[in-house]
Amino acid sequence: MPGGCCVERVCEGCPVLLVVDERRRYVFRVRRGAWFGSDRGSVKHDQLVGLEYGSWVRLSSGVYALVLQPRLVDYMERGLRRRSQVIYPKDHGMILMLLDLAPGMRVLEVGVGSGFTTAVLARAVGPGGRVYSYELRADMAEVARRNLEELGLLDRVVLRLRDARLGVEERGLDAAVVDMPDPWAVLPVLEEALRPGAGAVFFTPAANQAARLVAALRARPRWGELRMLELLARDYETRGDALRPKATMIAHTGYLVYARLTLPAPTP
Amino acid sequence: MPGGCCVERVCEGCPVLLVVDERRRYVFRVRRGAWFGSDRGSVKHDQLVGLEYGSWVRLSSGVYALVLQPRLVDYMERGLRRRSQVIYPKDHGMILMLLDLAPGMRVLEVGVGSGFTTAVLARAVGPGGRVYSYELRADMAEVARRNLEELGLLDRVVLRLRDARLGVEERGLDAAVVDMPDPWAVLPVLEEALRPGAGAVFFTPAANQAARLVAALRARPRWGELRMLELLARDYETRGDALRPKATMIAHTGYLVYARLTLPAPTP
Amino acid sequence: MPGGCCVERVCEGCPVLLVVDERRRYVFRVRRGAWFGSDRGSVKHDQLVGLEYGSWVRLSSGVYALVLQPRLVDYMERGLRRRSQVIYPKDHGMILMLLDLAPGMRVLEVGVGSGFTTAVLARAVGPGGRVYSYELRADMAEVARRNLEELGLLDRVVLRLRDARLGVEERGLDAAVVDMPDPWAVLPVLEEALRPGAGAVFFTPAANQAARLVAALRARPRWGELRMLELLARDYETRGDALRPKATMIAHTGYLVYARLTLPAPTP
Amino acid sequence: MPGGCCVERVCEGCPVLLVVDERRRYVFRVRRGAWFGSDRGSVKHDQLVGLEYGSWVRLSSGVYALVLQPRLVDYMERGLRRRSQVIYPKDHGMILMLLDLAPGMRVLEVGVGSGFTTAVLARAVGPGGRVYSYELRADMAEVARRNLEELGLLDRVVLRLRDARLGVEERGLDAAVVDMPDPWAVLPVLEEALRPGAGAVFFTPAANQAARLVAALRARPRWGELRMLELLARDYETRGDALRPKATMIAHTGYLVYARLTLPAPTP
């Protein structure tokens, strides 16, 4: 098989996103001898091998399905283990912008959950960057590890099964993402681990929790540039002639609180 | 001066974000002999040289201002030339997620404007990636070039002063971002330039324009995974005890239309 | 049975809203000898007779249910026949405000559907007002008639089974509500039927339809004060300690277009 | 002058809404001998007398202005004294729907402010209804009184300059609207004044305040059907060919908390 495996062409072991219709979307790895099956027909994996991505494959039912490279957002929607509330792409994108993430950066993550955010951060910092991820629960850390392995991103991630509130090893980090029920408890640790000027984003599902965090950040002398926001994503119908938003939407995922570590403010 | 220039420490020539208060935020480069001035006081640039980022500096008025590394979003808000309607961070973040942008990718941009989106793409693809940016207007291309130079991102960008609707040179590109009044006119060009499976995001301020684009994408046989959405960012007050959204917000920037290039669908 | 029937006390023939839990809400009229039944238990209607509204009644399962006067919004949610897309309370409320509806007014309605909006208008204009409602389809008009009878509002409504685009009988009306696929087709009729200065609200589910209407209103010389808007209602959780919006919401019902009839503008 | 004064035709003493352009909108009463003046020209009130509403009048500048009957929402925007934060039409409309307001009802209002909400309630209950409005501050009550007089609605309103938390005189009321900083403090009073089954809407600008109220309502045994929501009104451009929301919007006015008074729940 020529070059371009998993990017241009499906090889044994490559991931695919198989789209039967808008709701029937499947992410899996191609294994010779295995079968893909759904209520709309099945196909042997062998038939996928050698196809160009972007191709159509005929299922046993006669229906054609589209074969695509899964994006990270496709993986998060369909292809990963999910054991916890997760952060959504609209919020992930904003986190990247708020934290100014770029290849080569070293990032702290507190509260790994299923590892979705870890994956987003690991992609953004590239092979030359690092994500230091702290998780309390062994089962969650294991789910995250497997997901990151599936995504091929484990080499940039240092997973630590430990309570970050008790301290972290790293120093001089460029950014932090915190997703935990008591984010105010980790502020002293962030103040030691981040370099001055580094930003932190805290994700919290509840508004009163976010407000308590904002008050805690204000009460400590080393945080500035506070911002609290939420993002709403509104999808529109793309079929038919009527231009209209979809009838229902995700009305709430969580609030983002952003702050930036400073040196102590001068006493007036 | 030790290492860490422009990252940890302000050196001659480094950019700074100087925060006097929530509204008075300034982005500039430090030049020995120059003065920073505002209605809240002034300071000689020389006093900034050698400071750690995250420090506070005393202005002539006695007010202290915070000295920070400008993020890309700070530059876009305060530090770049702006000659056109621009795309906002909430939309930029979502574009990164939709297109699955990662270090090393090669991206097409049609409609450069002030170069803000170019900068976001160039950051995400890293030094090993490339952004090929087509712009019709010489004055806009020049604004974009200067902005990218200021940001140190020009080395990853190939700026072409040319009408992309007439064709582009590149082939096998990984993604495209289109910001132009008649995005449907560039679809045949995208079909040649993108690799099968690559995604494209189109930014359009008007809903009827977005709807016309969606219809055009549906009418052509090589586009799938259509999505049209808009993002709303809602900021909350972070001062005082009342938990409440800010009284006004940006209610509209534009719509994002996403589609993915496929190979031609089989004829039934 | 003393006074206060149907307002303070449940009598034979009175309507009740029976609330078993947040999802199990039922609107019906009390008939001696009948049974209320649900998957959470049953109760004979006779046991409801004589109860004060606001009381709790014990179902066969031992569960207590709340007995309330049904509001119009409870009827619309649970107690009326529904044969069409309906307008929601958030939009109904805004229609009342935009049209400045008050007791005694005479209102035109074009497109009756299930009669929900008719009911809202009929309530607002009171026994001294009138709603003239035009509907093309006999089956819909019949549904509306029955709903209005159930609500006791039929005496203020003149239901006409006729195509309003061909003209209406009334003149000098104070307001109009239009809910039809081609609202632009009824503008000449509104110009004859409304008194100068009267307002009209048009409800349209699709944005391109609303835009076409706005263009039609602008093109005619007798409409001013144009406004196009949509309303979003965002509900919050009221149980538990976490303050957060509900996870999903109705993202779209329709657009409201408002305009006011004027005398012809002077030719400049 | 014939009949139809102030409804069809402008007479001495009638109110008018004079619309010069989208921003220049004025509400005033016509007084012979007086002048209307603006930066776009002036006109003697005498020229307005006898005009049909819906007419255009020529200002001294040659510009034509539209003469309309002011709606309650026009008054609230332009024609009334405003001494406090006010509730907006989108919220007023929803309050009418939640409370099921109709002609003839008797309503309690706690916290009158500038009297805008009082006016909305007074209009809805009609001449046969009553609004009992409690206000602590004499200056506010006076502003409200003048506004209601201007609107001709004072005859249906009983304004009481008194602390409603200490008790109200009325009993068996049909609904309540509460707009005060500590709404939980008035709950015992509402429980005495409202008839069982009556609804109450509480308007609160801050989310934590609304959450505290929700908790207080849950803790007391006589409130059911709790709901907390906020409404967002999004306006669209109505000029030009681009279909798009206006660039900025009111992002927040306040939260509405709704609850309904019941009889005490049975002890299990």
In angstroms, what separates the C-alpha of B211 from chain C's closest C-alpha? 9
pLDDT exceeds cutoff 90 at B171: yes
Shortest Cα distance from C197 to chain D (angstroms)?
5
> Is A56 an 8 Å CB contact of chain B?
yes
**Mean predicted lDDT score pLDDT of chain B:** 95
% of chain D with per-residue pLDDT over 70:
99
> What is the per-residue pLDDT across A12-23, written as a single tens digit (0 to 9) for each?
999 999 999 989
Average pLDDT over residues B195-214: 96
* Residues of chain C neighbouring B207 (CB-CB closer than 8 A): 207-208, 211
Q: Look at residue D3 in the predicted model and tell me its pLDDT.
A: 54
Q: Give mean pLDDT, residues D116-140.
A: 97
Q: What angle do CA D118, D124, D126 make, to 5 degrees?
A: 100
Looking at the partner chain, which of C100, C196, C229 has a beta carbon nearest the beta carbon of D53?
C196
Q: Which residues of B touch C207 (CB under 8 A)?
A: 207-208
**Averaged over B186-204, what is the pLDDT?**
98
Q: What does the pLDDT read at residue C203? A: 98
Question: Is A164 a residue whose pLDDT tops 80?
Answer: yes
Whole-number Å distance between alpha carbons of A48 and A232: 37
Q: Does A234 touch chain C (CB under 8 A)?
A: yes
Which residues from chain D sit within 8 angstroms of residue B241, using beta carbons?
208
Residue C267, chain B, CB below 8 Å: the answer is no
pLDDT value of position A116: 96
Contact B211 C211 (CB under 8 A): no
Q: Give the pLDDT of residue A1.
A: 39
Structure tokens at B195: 């690799």
Stretch A235-264: mean pLDDT: 94
Mean pLDDT along residues B202-227:
96
Q: Which chains touch A (3 or more CB pairs under 8 A)?
A: B, C, D
Establish if D166 touches chain B: CB-CB under 8 angstroms.
no
Taking the CA atoms of residue B261, residue B264, residue B266 and residue B268 in that order, the dihedral angle to the nearest 10 degrees is 100
Query: Who among B227, B232, B237 is closest to A235 (CB)?
Result: B227
> Tell me, what's the pLDDT at B3?
54
> What pLDDT was estimated at residue A241?
87
Contact A201, A95 (CB under 8 A): yes
**pLDDT tens, residue by residue, B57-80:** 999 999 999 999 999 999 999 888
Chain center to CA of B221: 31
- Nearest residue of chain A to residue D209 (CA atoms): A208
Min Cα–Cα distance to chain A from C115, Å: 22
> With bands split at pLDDT 50, 70 and 90, how would you rate the model's confidence at A10?
very high
Q: Does D249 touch chain B (CB under 8 A)?
A: yes
**Taking Cα atoms as reference points, which of D53, D61, D79 lies closest to residue D20?**
D61
Tell me the residues of chain D between 57 and 96 that have a Cβ less than 8 Å away from chain C.
58, 64, 66, 68-69, 71-73, 89-90, 92-96
Question: Does B15-70 carry CATH code 3.30.300.30?
Answer: no
**Would you call B102 an interface residue with chain D, using a CB distance cutoff of 8 Å?**
no
A236 in contact with D, Cβ within 8 Å: no
Is residue A2 over pLDDT 60?
A: no
pLDDT lower than 50: segments of chain C: 1-2
Look up residue D227 and give its DSSP letter. E
Chain A closest CA to B115's CA: distance in Å?
16
In sign, the C-alpha dihedral spanning B1, B3, B8, B12 is positive
Check whether B1 has a pLDDT greater than 60.
no
Instruction: Return the pLDDT at D2.
Output: 46
pLDDT over 70, % of chain A: 99
Question: Is residue A268 very low, low, confident or very high in pLDDT (cuts 50, 70, 90)?
Answer: low
pLDDT above 70 as % of chain B: 99
Tell me which chain C residue has its CA closest to the CA of residue D249: C229
For range D161-185, the mean pLDDT: 97
- The arithmetic mean of pLDDT across residues B186-206, rounded, is 97
What's the pTM?
Answer: 0.95
The tokens of D58 are what?
């020529």
Tens digit of each residue's pLDDT (9 = 90 or more) over D3-38: 589 999 999 999 999 999 989 999 999 999 999 999
Please answer yes or no on whether C196 and D231 come within 8 Å at the CB atom. Answer: no
Question: Using the 8-state DSSP alphabet, how is residue B30 labeled?
Answer: -
Residue of D nearest to A243 (CA): D243
Smallest Cβ–Cβ distance between C196 and the set D52, D120, D214 belongs to D52
Does position B12 have pLDDT exceeding 80, yes or no? yes
Q: Looking at beta carbons, which residues of chain C come within 8 Å of D234? A: 229-232
Label residue A265 by pLDDT band (50, 70, 90).
confident
Which chains border B (3 or more CB–CB pairs < 8 Å)? A, C, D
Residue C130 one-letter amino acid: R
Q: How far is the first Cα of chain B from the last one, in angstroms, to the nearest whole number? A: 70
Task: Choose the closest CB to A68 out of B104, B211, B260.
Answer: B260
Contact status of B207 with chain C (Cβ, < 8 Å)? yes
Q: 3-class SS at B89?
A: helix
Section B138-157 average pLDDT: 96
Q: Which of A206, A244, A251 sits opposite C249 (nearest CB)?
A: A251
| Chain A residues near residue C246 by CB distance under 8 angstroms | 251-252
Provide the pLDDT for residue C2.
47
For chain C, which chains pass the contact test of at least 3 CB pairs under 8 Å? A, B, D
Chain B CB contacts of C208 under 8 Å are 207-208, 211
pLDDT at A52 over 90: yes
Under 8 Å between Cβ of B258 and B226: yes
CATH class of B74-261: alpha beta
d(CA B138, CA D258): 58
Q: Is the pLDDT reported for residue B245 higher than 80?
A: yes
Instruction: Let me know how many helices (H) and strands (E) chain D has, helices first.
Output: 6, 14
Closest CB to C227: pick one of D7, D207, D238. D238
For chain D, the structural domain boundaries read: 15-70, 74-261
pLDDT in the model for residue B90: 96
